[in-house]
């Protein structure tokens, strides 16, 4: 199986030993504590899960600035975005060497992790602006990732952490949430050597289904990891439980048995386009996947990124040998009326606009809310039914 990023074995930061975990929970109640932001909580979940191997905790300012500048930590580890714990107010933890981090996303703010504090550093407005521009390629506060990154405070608390639970992901998505080490175990059990990862924050329509099958066929993969984001999205995105149900139905009916792992990970969407695509590659390597599908406007939002910027970054900015995982570069896929099947649009050079079945997200949502069937060339009817039920329930509630 493909090695993790930056080490020979995966080193998740979740405290596996139940007795040790109980001791730490008891200790946490005696420590200075702080409720972290949602992004920092998601980072803790990813660190605990092994997705952010080989990191041992939250980064300091020197690492964060260098990563923003050139995708390397101060000691040379390749990494695409800073993994940080930013706070607005550090008065409760000033002078503390060990602190409890409380979860902002679970009622009662239970302890999520314990952190050894190596430094508390103030980040200047200029430094925040520099990191913002480098990570997101824009400083427009209408960009949801830019707005979120600049709303969490300007004190950076760095140091190693011990993760004590997986926030709400394990309880709300027990069938879907999986850690990187659990996925590696499942891949090993299945006996797969080549595995394609498919990233999604949306339900999967015919084009996505066929893209997974194309990638599996082209790289001669044994299976595909459908890996959905379970954390916070922007307003208007479809909730994780609805996406999960739609994807499971599609896989049940339209994929060969024992060729798909349906899993999810606990992270908040950054909408950072190219940089986030590289982060996706890093943590899919940590799951044991050999290939990642990077499609048109991967991890993008609005018109902030060019359609293939997330593919170009792997050629232009990722040093050779920095990652073991390979990128499967995909174009937009759609149903060709001429050929009677889904193809990549770059392969339909003789096609006109009328030769494709294309629907905008706005049009799809409007049709579903109105109870109108989507074309079978666009969406499997069983999938469309799950989405229609959701949109009609939303419309009824307004």
What is d(CA 195, CA 290) in angstroms, rounded to the nearest whole number? Answer: 5
Considering the domain architecture, whether residues 129 and 196 belong to the same structural domain is answered as: no
Q: Which of 202, 217, 275, 284 is catalytic?
A: 202
Establish if 389 belongs to a structural domain: yes
Of 170, 205, 221, which closes a domain?
170
**Is 202 noted as a catalytic residue in this protein?**
yes
Considering the domain architecture, whether residues 77 and 40 belong to the same structural domain is answered as: yes
Name 136's Cβ contacts closer than 8 Å, sequence gap at least 6.
143, 145, 146, 149, 271, 272, 273, 275, 304
Considering the domain architecture, whether residues 118 and 213 belong to the same structural domain is answered as: no
Considering the domain architecture, whether residues 216 and 148 belong to the same structural domain is answered as: no
Long-range contacts of 16-25 (CB under 8 A, 24+ apart): 21/164, 24/114, 24/162, 24/164, 25/111, 25/164
Q: Identify the pLDDT of residue 92.
A: 97
What residues make up the domain containing 255? 177-397
Establish if 123 belongs to a structural domain: yes
- Among the listed residues 45, 62, 184, 139, the one whose alpha carbon sits nearest the alpha carbon of residue 101: 45
Considering the domain architecture, whether residues 214 and 140 belong to the same structural domain is answered as: no
Question: Any idea which residue has 């170009």 for tokens?
Answer: 312
Considering the domain architecture, whether residues 88 and 182 belong to the same structural domain is answered as: no
Of 170, 188, 217, which closes a domain?
170
Of 147, 170, 193, which closes a domain?
170
Question: What's the mean pLDDT in 110-114?
Answer: 98
Q: Identify the pLDDT of residue 398.
A: 60
Give the chain's domain count.
2
Establish if 3 belongs to a structural domain: no
Q: Identify the pLDDT of residue 360.
A: 84
- Among the listed residues 140, 146, 163, 228, the one whose alpha carbon sits nearest the alpha carbon of residue 20: 163
Q: Identify the pLDDT of residue 198.
A: 98
Whether residue 383 has pLDDT greater than 80: yes
**Is 165 noted as a catalytic residue in this protein?**
no
Establish if 36 belongs to a structural domain: yes
Q: Identify the pLDDT of residue 239.
A: 84
Establish if 6 belongs to a structural domain: no
Considering the domain architecture, whether residues 299 and 362 belong to the same structural domain is answered as: yes
Confidence of residue 366 (pLDDT cuts 50, 70, 90): confident
Question: What's the mean pLDDT in 259-278?
Answer: 96
Provide the CATH number for the domain around residue 333.
3.40.50.620
Each residue's pLDDT tens digit, 16-74:
999 999 999 999 999 999 999 999 999 999 999 999 999 999 999 999 999 999 999 99
Provide the CATH number for the domain around residue 159.
3.10.400.10
Considering the domain architecture, whether residues 162 and 181 belong to the same structural domain is answered as: no
Q: Largest Cα–Cα distance of the chain, in whole Å?
A: 69
Confidence of residue 232 (pLDDT cuts 50, 70, 90): confident
Pair type for strands 155-163 and 57-58? antiparallel
DSSP 261: E
Q: Are 309 and 296 in contact (CB under 8 A)?
A: no
Confidence of residue 91 (pLDDT cuts 50, 70, 90): very high
Whether residue 276 has pLDDT greater than 90: yes
What is d(CA 390, CA 388) in angstroms, rounded to the nearest whole number? Answer: 5
Mean pLDDT estimate for the chain = 96
Considering the domain architecture, whether residues 243 and 279 belong to the same structural domain is answered as: yes
For 166-205, letters b (16+ CB in 10 Å) and e give bbbbeeebeebbbbbbebbebbeeeebeebbbbbbbebbb
Name 71's Cβ contacts closer than 8 Å, sequence gap at least 6.
78, 79, 80, 275, 278, 317, 318
Question: What's the mean pLDDT in 200-209?
Answer: 92
Pair type for strands 326-329 and 291-294? parallel
What is d(CA 19, CA 250) in angstroms, rounded to the nearest whole number? Answer: 41
Considering the domain architecture, whether residues 196 and 147 belong to the same structural domain is answered as: no
Of the chain, the percentage scoring pLDDT greater than 70 comes to 99
Q: Which of 201, 258, 346, 398 is catalytic?
A: 201
Establish if 11 belongs to a structural domain: no
Q: How far apart are the first and last CA of the chain?
A: 50
């Amino acid at each position: 199986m493909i090695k993790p990023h930056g080490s020979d074995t995966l080193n998740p930061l979740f405290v596996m030993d139940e007795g040790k975990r109980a001791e730490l929970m008891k200790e946490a109640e005696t420590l200075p504590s702080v409720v972290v932001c949602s992004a920092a909580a998601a980072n803790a979940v990813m660190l605990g899960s092994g997705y952010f191997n080989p990191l041992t905790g939250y980064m300091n300012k020197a690492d964060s600035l260098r990563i923003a500048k050139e995708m390397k930590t101060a000691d040379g580890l390749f990494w695409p975005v800073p993994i940080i714990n930013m706070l607005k107010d550090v008065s409760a933890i000033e002078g503390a060497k060990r602190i409890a981090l409380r979860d902002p996303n679970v009622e009662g703010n239970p302890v999520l992790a314990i952190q050894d504090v190596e430094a508390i550093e103030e980040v200047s407005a200029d430094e925040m602006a520099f990191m913002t521009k480098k990570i997101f390629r824009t400083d427009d506060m209408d960009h949801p990732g830019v707005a979120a990154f600049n709303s969490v405070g300007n004190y950076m608390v760095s140091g190693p952490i011990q993760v004590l639970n997986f926030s709400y992901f394990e309880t709300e998505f027990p069938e879907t949430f999986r850690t990187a080490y659990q996925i590696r175990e499942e891949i090993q059990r299945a006996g797969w050597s080549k595995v394609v990862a498919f990233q999604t924050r949306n339900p999967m329509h015919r084009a996505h289904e066929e893209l997974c099958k194309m990638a599996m066929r082209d790289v001669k993969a044994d299976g595909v990891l459908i890996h959905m984001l379970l954390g916070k999205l922007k307003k208007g995105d479809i909730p994780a439980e609805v996406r999960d149900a739609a994807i499971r139905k599609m896989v049940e009916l339209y994929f060969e048995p024992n060729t798909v792992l349906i899993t999810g990970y606990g992270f908040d969407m950054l909408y950072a386009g190219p940089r986030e695509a590289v982060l996706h590659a890093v943590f899919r390597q940590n799951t044991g996947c050999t290939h990642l599908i990077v499609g048109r406007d991967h991890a993008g939002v609005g018109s902030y990124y060019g359609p293939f910027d997330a593919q170009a970054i792997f050629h232009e900015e990722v040093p050779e040998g920095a990652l073991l995982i390979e990128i499967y570069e995909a174009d937009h896929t759609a149903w060709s009326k001429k050929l009677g099947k889904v193809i990549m649009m770059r392969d339909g050079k003789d096609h006109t606009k009328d030769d494709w079945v294309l629907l905008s997200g706005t049009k799809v949502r409007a049709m579903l809310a109105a109870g109108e069937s989507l074309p079978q060339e666009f969406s499997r009817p069983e999938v469309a039914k799950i989405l229609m039920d959701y949109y009609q329930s939303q419309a009824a509630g307004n």
